[in-house]
Chains A and B, each alone.
Chain A
Amino acid sequence: MSGATARFSSLGAAVPGIALLVAFGVVPLAVLTVTALGLGATGAGEEPGLTLDNLTQAVTSPRLRQELVASVVVGIGSVLIMLVAGIPLTLAMSRHGGQVGHGRLTSVVFTLPIALPGIVVGFFTILMLGRTGIFGQVVPALGGAAYTLPGIFVAYVYFSFPRVIGPLQAAMSTFDHSLVDTARTLGASRARAFVSVTLPVVLPAVVQVLGTAAAVTIGGYGTIATLAQSERLLPLSVADRLSNGYQVASASGLAVVLALLAAGTLAVSRLLSAWLERRLR
């Protein structure tokens, strides 16, 4: 950056945007944490006063612990499934580029679901795997699968599809395929070429995509809200606490746990990605 001029750049003009980030981002999160610690607003049957119970209930209550584990497993697992399918797919798409169908149209179709809220993804799952879903009408065993853990997994895979494929496509577009060709010419097997040539190059980007997408799936409420009948994930309990007698401190505690899970996943993936980048270059 030349630094001589920073044309059009002024802190004054940036202030309204910064103020919004602070007033409606930082302040509510700070208050949420204070409320979670029992030092802020309280609701029905909640004692004011410093406590960690609102946070630790996520681990101490067996039911909540189960929801917490399920949230992490579904959130990260669905993104991992998408990665296993998405890495070879986007690599191949970047290699064969124009030869594979209508590249532009495909890429629009692959990004389309990002505009759909989680509730629509949940509803799609009901149409496919619900009690009268089209798969259930053909294979009766699949009727109602939408509300079971495997069905919820399928929903979250659909939800993470555009969030994984889009960034992967961008990351793979600059991949130098001649590296793999060279390794193969020198006698490396497909698997060997993938592990020792391709993976080190793409891994930092892959880890980052995993973290970013998993943060969204872990924190998402819409999909599970639509599919909640027998299985439960943590966001449901956050909402329930609020709607049952407005237990705001308890809801805030669970919300903080959920936020730490999502933001933690994101932060760990960024750090890991930066570390891999340094290690592998």
Chain B
Amino acid sequence: MRGLPDTLGTRMAVGLCVVFVLLPVATSVAVATSVSSARGLWGDGVTLQWLVTGWEQISPTLGRSTAVALGVVAANLVLGGPLAMWLARSPSRLTRAVSFLATLPLAVPGIALSIGLITVYPQLRPSGLLLFLGHVLLTLPFTLAALTPVLADQELQDCENAATTLGAAGWRVLATVTVPFSATALVQVVITAFALSFGEFNISFFINPPAAPMAPFALFDAYSTQRLELASAKTVLFMLCLVPVLALLVAARRTPSTRKARP
């Protein structure tokens, strides 16, 4: 094909999209370090004071959100792993019905689900258990979508059968065949569940125990009541917490997949 103009056009379009995505991120950093952003970015000078104040105010909620997100990841692996295994390997009318159920949290808006949740389980709300379970419910469909096709793979099942025939115990087959084979999908599960739970706002807004706000809730509070610089500082700190997750994402993409080459 006539490569050059096309490539140039594509490169410019990709560049524009990168700017579209990153400009607000860069702006929030600039506003967070401006003394007074209303007088232009860094108009009255550069300061780290907003970031320091922001950190003092938001760090407890960041810690809480991280803890909840890690718990949600664990619950996804513990509950979602066996469920995906069953969905992948015992196809029946029942698995189809459960697969359909698993799409509900994707299709139904979080605010609708949360009104149902607080109506049915008000007693689970103060402890934060309802919030946690709501997050697990919301992330589980993504876990199933990532794991089920991999676990259904015939090649994986052949390998497992070979290992078993050769005398390996069940746990050993799981640990040395199944888990390594599905490593890419498992990493994807960890990243997705963590990021979704950490940034979840719709359910958290309604179910949040008022005494223990989650990070997105604290951000929302800052957006409605605080000055732009402090709100930006908190946003920057929030995004920094996602950097390890994104680094993991980049690393996972860099690792050449053992089997199927990435397109």
Contacts and interface: CB of A to CB of B under 8 A. Distances in A.
Contacts of A29: 104, 108, 112-113, 116
B40 A137 contact: yes
Interface in B98-124: 98, 101-102, 104-113, 115-117, 119-121
A17 B83 contact: yes
Contacts of B223: 119, 122-123, 126, 226
B17 interface: yes
A79 interface: no
A9 B174 CA distance: 12
A130 B18 CA distance: 22
B230 to A, nearest CB: 12
Contact of B205 (A27, A35, A215, A221): A221
- The residue among A24, A181, A212 with the most chain B CB atoms within 10 A of its own CB is A24
A266 B239 CA distance: 30
A229 to B, nearest CB: 11
Nearest to B200: A117
Interface in B34-89: 37-38, 40-41, 78-80, 82-83, 85-89
B157 A7 contact: yes
Contacts of B201: 117-119, 221-222
Contact of A115 (B83, B107, B174, B198): B198
Given A18-B83, A262-B108, A27 B239 contact: no
- The residue among A7, A130, A235 with the most chain B CB atoms within 10 A of its own CB is A7
Given A5-B161, A219-B111, A132 B38 contact: yes
Contact of B88 (A9, A112, A122): A9
A137 B94 CA distance: 59
A104 B90 CA distance: 36
B241 to A, nearest CB: 10
A99 B5 CA distance: 12
Chain B interface secondary structure, helix, strand, loop or mixed?
helix
Contact of A251 (B98, B115, B161): B115
Contacts of A226: 220, 223-224
Nearest to A13: B82
A101 B24 CA distance: 21
A28 B6 CA distance: 52
B183 interface: no
A258 interface: yes
Interface in A68-102: 85, 88-89, 92-96, 99-101
Given A9-B86, A20-B137, A101 B120 contact: no
B231 interface: yes
Interface range for A = 35 or more
Contact of A8 (B79, B89, B239): B89
Contacts of A8: 85, 89, 160, 170, 174, 178
B186 interface: no
Contacts of B116: 27-32, 35, 252, 255
A10 B94 CA distance: 13
Interface string A6-24: 1111110110111011101
A161 interface: yes
Interface in A116-139: 116-120, 122-128, 130, 132, 134, 137
Interface of A: 1-2, 5-11, 13-14, 16-18, 20-22, 24-32, 35, 40-41, 85, 88-89, 92-96, 99-101, 104-120, 122-128, 130, 132, 134, 137, 158, 161, 165, 173-174, 177, 181, 212, 215, 218-222, 225-226, 235, 238-239, 242, 248, 251-252, 255-256, 258-259, 262-263, 266-267
26 contacts: A7-B173, A11-B94, A16-B79, A21-B140, A25-B101, A25-B113, A28-B120, A29-B116, A31-B119, A89-B14, A104-B250, A108-B250, A115-B198, A119-B220, A123-B235, A124-B24, A126-B223, A127-B27, A128-B24, A161-B21, A221-B109, A222-B202, A238-B111, A255-B115, A258-B112, A266-B107
Interface of B: 1, 3, 6-7, 9-11, 13-15, 17-18, 20-25, 27-28, 31, 37-38, 40-41, 78-80, 82-83, 85-91, 94, 98, 101-102, 104-113, 115-117, 119-121, 133-134, 136-137, 140, 152, 154, 157, 160-161, 164, 170, 173-174, 178, 195-196, 198-202, 205-206, 216, 219-220, 223-224, 228, 231-232, 235, 238-239, 242, 245-246, 249-250, 253-254, 263
